[in-house]
C-alpha cells in the first residue's frame, strides 16, 4: 500500500483483574499484539465476538484507553508520544462514533451545542459562524437545521445516530472509528445510516475503522476486513476474498454461523463447541485450537504468526493456505 493514514504496530493492552493480599494479580489480555494499516479514504472492518478486544482496540487507537505497548502512527506521528495539547490537536482528525448515541450525548445539551462543541473548544469557530456550521452539519447528516435547539431525548435512535455522526464530522476528520454504529437500530433505519456513512466517505474522503459483530453489514461496507479472536487478529483480507476464500478456521465458523436470509438455502454450518476461552488464561499455542475443527498436534504447542498466505491476505493459522 502506498499511502498510510494510520498504522498500528504491536499494540497491547492488558487490564488487571483480581489481586489482593493473597491472590495474585492477573490480566485480561484484551489486545495482545495487533498490527493494522489503514489507507486514506479506506474502510477497514474489524469483526469478532463479544470480548475479542475490538472495541478496546478502537479506543486504544484514539488513546481513550492508554495502550501498554506498541506504536500508533496517525498522519505521520506516533500518538503515544504526544503531550496533552498535541494529542488534543491530533484528535481533531480522528473521531469516534458509538453504538448507543443516547448514552454518548449529554442529555442537558441541545444537539446544536453538542455538534458545535468540537469547533468551539478548539477555538475554530464562534458566534454566527459556529451556528452556520452546525446548521450545515445537520443538513449533511439529513436532519433539519431548525432542530439545533432540541434535546437528545426528542429524537429517535436513528436520528440520534445522525447527531453522533454530525458531531464526529464537525472537525473535518480524516479517520472515523465507528464502533457498532448500527447495532442498536432496526433494519430499515440501519440501511439509512449505512447509506449516510457511504455517502460521507465519498464526499469527504474519510477513512473508517468499522467495528462490528455483524458480518453481513461489514461485507457490504468494507474494503478490507480484519477478524479478531482473543485480542489478536487471526485473519485480514480484502472483503470479497475473506468471504470467498477464507483462510482461517475461526473465520469459517463465524461466517457459517451467520443466518442466511434465504429459507432452505443454508450452507453447511460449522457449529463451534463451547464458549470463547477466558482472555485471562488464553490457551497455549494457537488460541483457537480447543474449538478448532481442523486442529492438529502442533496447534496446541506452537503459536501461529500472522503471515501472508495470498496477495494482501493474512492468516494466523498453521494450516493456511487450505
Of 18-26, 112-120, 131-139, 183-191, the segment contacting another protein by CB under 8 A is 183-191
Is position 124 an interface residue for another protein (rule: CB under 8 A)? no
Shortest Cβ 217–another protein spacing (Å): 5
Shortest Cβ 14–another protein spacing (Å): 21
Residue 168 near residue 97 (C-beta atoms within 8 A):
yes
Residue 242's contacts (CB-CB under 8 Å, 6 or more residues apart) are 225, 227, 235, 251, 313
If you search the block for the grid coordinates 474449538, which residue do you land on? 291
Whichever of 90 and 189 has its CB closer to another protein, that residue is 189
Residue 11's contacts (CB-CB under 8 Å, 6 or more residues apart) are 31, 33, 34, 35, 57, 60, 61, 67, 69, 70, 71, 72
Convert residues 254-273 into a mask of x (bound to another protein by CB under 8 A) and - (unbound).
Answer: x-xxxxxxxxxxx--x-xx-
Of 11-19, 62-70, 167-175, 187-195, the segment contacting another protein by CB under 8 A is 187-195
Whichever of 69 and 258 has its CB closer to another protein, that residue is 258
Shortest Cβ 193–another protein spacing (Å): 10
Is position 65 an interface residue for another protein (rule: CB under 8 A)? no
Nearest to 60 by CA among 103, 15, 102: 15
Q: Which residues of 247-283 are buried (b: 16+ CB within 10 A; e: fewer)?
A: bbbbbbbbbbeeeeeeeeeeeeeeebeeebbebeebb
Q: How many residues does the chain have?
A: 322
Residues 37/244/293/183 CA torsion (nearest 10 deg):
60
Footprint of another protein on 209-248 (CB under 8 A)? 213, 215-217, 219-221, 239-240
In the chain, what is the greatest distance between 2 CA atoms, to the nearest angstrom? 68
Q: How many other C-beta atoms lie within 10 A of the C-beta of residue 105? A: 21
Whichever of 159 and 247 has its CB closer to another protein, that residue is 159
Footprint of another protein on 149-178 (CB under 8 A)? 156-158
Is position 49 an interface residue for another protein (rule: CB under 8 A)? yes
Shortest Cβ 290–another protein spacing (Å): 14
Shortest Cβ 123–another protein spacing (Å): 37
How far apart are the C-alpha atoms of 242 and 142, rounded to whole Å? 33
Nearest to 34 by CA among 44, 24, 21: 44
Whichever of 222 and 316 has its CB closer to another protein, that residue is 222
Binding residues for another protein, rule CB under 8 A, total 43
Of 68-76, 181-189, 203-211, 309-317, the segment contacting another protein by CB under 8 A is 181-189
Shortest Cβ 173–another protein spacing (Å): 20
How far apart are the C-alpha atoms of 150 and 153, rounded to whole Å? 8
Cell numbers that stand for 3 in this block: 499511502
Shortest Cβ 253–another protein spacing (Å): 6
Shortest Cβ 4–another protein spacing (Å): 22
Quote helix, strand, coil % in the chain, to nearest 5: 35, 25, 40
- Residues forming the site for another protein (CB under 8 A): 49-50, 156-158, 186-192, 194-195, 198-199, 213, 215-217, 219-221, 239-240, 253-254, 256-266, 269, 271-272, 275-276
Amino acid at each position: 500500500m502506498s499511502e498510510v493514514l494510520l498504522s498500528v504496530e504491536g499494540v497491547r493492552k492488558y487490564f488487571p483483574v483480581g489481586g489482593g493480599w493473597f491472590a495474585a494479580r492477573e490480566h485480561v489480555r484484551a489486545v495482545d499484539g495487533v498490527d493494522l494499516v489503514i489507507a486514506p479514504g479506506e474502510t477497514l472492518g474489524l469483526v469478532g465476538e463479544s470480548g475479542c478486544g475490538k472495541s478496546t482496540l478502537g479506543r486504544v487507537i484514539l488513546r481513550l484507553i492508554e495502550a501498554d505497548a506498541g506504536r500508533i502512527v496517525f498522519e505521520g506521528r506516533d500518538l503515544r508520544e504526544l503531550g496533552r495539547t498535541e494529542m488534543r490537536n491530533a484528535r481533531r482528525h480522528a473521531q469516534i462514533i458509538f453504538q448507543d448515541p443516547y448514552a454518548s450525548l449529554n442529555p442537558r445539551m441541545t444537539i446544536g451545542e453538542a455538534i458545535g462543541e468540537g469547533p468551539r473548544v478548539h477555538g475554530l469557530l464562534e458566534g454566527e459562524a459556529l451556528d452556520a456550521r452546525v446548521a450545515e452539519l445537520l443538513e449533511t447528516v439529513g436532519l433539519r437545521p431548525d432542530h439545533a435547539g432540541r434535546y437528545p431525548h426528542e429524537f429517535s435512535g436513528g436520528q440520534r445516530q445522525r447527531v453522533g455522526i454530525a458531531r464526529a464530522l464537525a472537525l473535518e476528520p480524516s479517520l472515523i472509528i465507528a464502533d457498532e454504529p448500527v447495532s442498536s437500530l432496526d433494519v430499515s433505519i440501519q440501511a439509512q445510516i449505512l447509506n449516510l456513512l457511504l455517502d460521507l466517505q465519498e464526499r469527504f474522503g474519510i477513512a473508517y475503522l468499522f467495528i462490528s459483530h455483524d458480518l453481513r453489514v461489514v461485507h457490504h461496507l468494507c474494503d478490507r476486513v480484519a477478524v479478531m479472536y482473543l485480542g489478536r487478529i487471526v485473519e485480514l483480507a480484502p472483503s470479497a476474498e475473506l468471504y470467498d476464500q477464507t483462510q482461517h478456521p475461526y473465520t469459517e465458523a463465524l461466517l457459517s454461523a451467520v443466518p442466511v436470509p434465504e429459507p432452505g438455502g443454508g450452507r453447511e454450518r460449522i457449529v463451534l463447541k463451547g464458549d470463547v476461552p477466558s482472555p485471562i488464561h488464553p490457551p497455549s499455542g494457537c488460541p483457537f485450537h480447543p474449538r478448532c475443527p481442523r486442529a492438529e498436534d502442533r496447534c496446541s504447542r506452537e503459536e501461529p504468526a500472522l503471515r501472508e498466505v495470498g496477495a494482501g491476505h493474512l492468516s494466523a493459522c498453521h494450516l493456511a493456505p487450505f
